[in-house]
Amino acid sequence: MRAIFSSALFILIIAMTPNVYAFQSFFDKPKNLKVLPKDISAADLRETMRGFAFALGARCTDCHVSEKPEGATKPIMIFDRDDKENKKIAREMLKLVADINARVTDLGRGDDHVYQKVTCTTCHRGQKKPVLIQTVLDKAIIEGGADEAIKQYGELKERYYGGHTYDFTPFTLAEYAQTVAKSGDLETGVKLAQFNVDNYPDTAYGQQILGQINMELKNYQAAAKAFEAANKIWPNDFTQGLLKQAQDEARKAQK
Ligand code: HEC
Ligand code: HEC
């Protein structure tokens, strides 16, 4: 009686969770592995695929074909097919990661040394194309100048803040503003530096960079204000010197 009951329950559970069972069977007998070991266990293959999806912020369908068989109402996944570009690239990436790790262990740092492993996440950090915030801003400036860069920065921060995909620290934004200014685009540089201190007024470095770009633009009053703020947050001879210089220039300009 008990046996009948439990097998009935078992069948009920299977009937209720068809997706899970269908899903797991995909991992059981892989037919088309070219890089991963052909005898990989279903559990390891499943973990590897979930790892890819997490590392790249991708879905299974970004790499695998989903197709509606003739007469069917719903599409099904066909994991062994190689139609998608991303799947082919992912295979090359698997080899690349293996190469990197082999070269790292070749450093020969002794038997006791524990080598750090490079993984998909090391580079991708939750995105398909592993770009840095600087890359996004470069593109945004070309599209629509400082305003577009500031808009996109805000949108990304809203979506990704707290994660490891993009670096939103004021130090990095100050560095970036300085790079843009040094490339000759002082107007864009100063807007980004101003945006940075508007959001993070308490970082001495951000204020210092804002002051320095304003000096280049001969906005001596604005420069003095920024150096003064920097010197208040972190008093030191260097920013004190910059402040004095800006004040002198501002006075000269007034005469
Ligand atoms: C970044 C691309 C990528 C993502 C995302 C991805 N896969 Fe894969 N998948 C691959 C690659 C590449 C292979 C083949 C590996 C090889 O050739 O050794 C593969 C192989 C497989 C196989 C074995 C197919 C066979 O029969 O040969 C299964 C099953 C599978 N993936 C399921 C999934 C599932 C489920 C997901 C979502 C959780 C997923 N994959 C997400 C790239 C991806
Ligand atoms: C050393 C850094 C690095 C590592 C580690 C790495 N990738 Fe990549 N990956 C890149 C770069 C860079 C690109 C962009 C290539 C380009 O510009 O065409 C890329 C692109 C891709 C793409 C194409 C995405 C697209 O939209 O064009 C896929 C898919 C991918 N990687 C999968 C993986 C997987 C899976 C792993 C782990 C097995 C991995 N990558 C590990 C650097 C890396």
pLDDT at residue 7 greater than cutoff 90: no
**CATH number, domain 133-254:** 1.25.40.10
pLDDT value for 47: 96
Q: Which atom of ligand 1 is nearest to the CA of 128?
A: 1
| pLDDT confidence of residue 52 | 98
pLDDT tens digits for range 41-79: 999 999 999 999 999 999 999 999 999 989 999 999 999
The pLDDT confidence band at residue 23, using thresholds 50, 70 and 90, is: low
In the prediction, which pLDDT does 25 show?
76
127 in ligand 2 pocket by Cβ < 6 Å? no
Give the per-residue pLDDT at 231: 97
Question: Which is the closest atom of ligand 1 to the Cα of 31?
Answer: 26
**Distance between Cα 165 and ligand 2 center (Å):** 14
The number of the ligand nearest the C-alpha atom of 91 reads 1
Task: Give the pocket of ligand 1 (CB within 6 Å).
Answer: 26-27, 30-36, 49-50, 52-53, 56, 58, 60, 62-64, 79-80, 86-87, 90-91
Provide, rounded to the nearest whole percent, the portion of the chain with pLDDT above 70.
91
Q: What is the predicted pLDDT for the residue at 24?
A: 52
Mutation probe of ligand 1 site: the residue of 65, 79, 83 with most atoms within 8 A of C-beta: 79
Taking only the tens place, the pLDDT of each residue in 152-171 is 999 999 999 999 999 999 99
Number of C-beta neighbours around residue 219 at 10 A: 21
User: Which stretch of DSSP H or E encloses residue 66?
Assistant: strand 65-67
Q: Atom 23, ligand 1: which residue's CA is nearest?
A: 30
Flag the least confident range among 2-11, 31-40, 123-132, 246-255: 2-11
Using 50, 70 and 90 to split pLDDT, how confident is the model at 18?
very low
- Mean pLDDT over each residue of the chain, to the nearest integer: 92
Starting from the CA of residue 35, give the closest ligand: 1
Separation between Cα atoms, residue 248 and residue 213, nearest integer Å: 17
Bridge partners of 67? 76
pLDDT in tens, 190-228: 999 999 999 999 999 999 999 999 999 999 999 999 999
DSSP annotation of 185: -
User: What's the 35 CA to ligand 1 centre distance in angstroms?
Assistant: 11
Residue owning tokens 């201190």: 197
For CATH 1.25.40.10, the residue range(s) in the chain are 133-254
- Give residue 64 CA to ligand 1 midpoint distance, Å: 7
Give the residue ranges of DSSP H helices in the chain: 2-16, 18-28, 42-56, 60-63, 85-105, 120-124, 133-160, 170-182, 186-199, 204-216, 220-233, 237-254
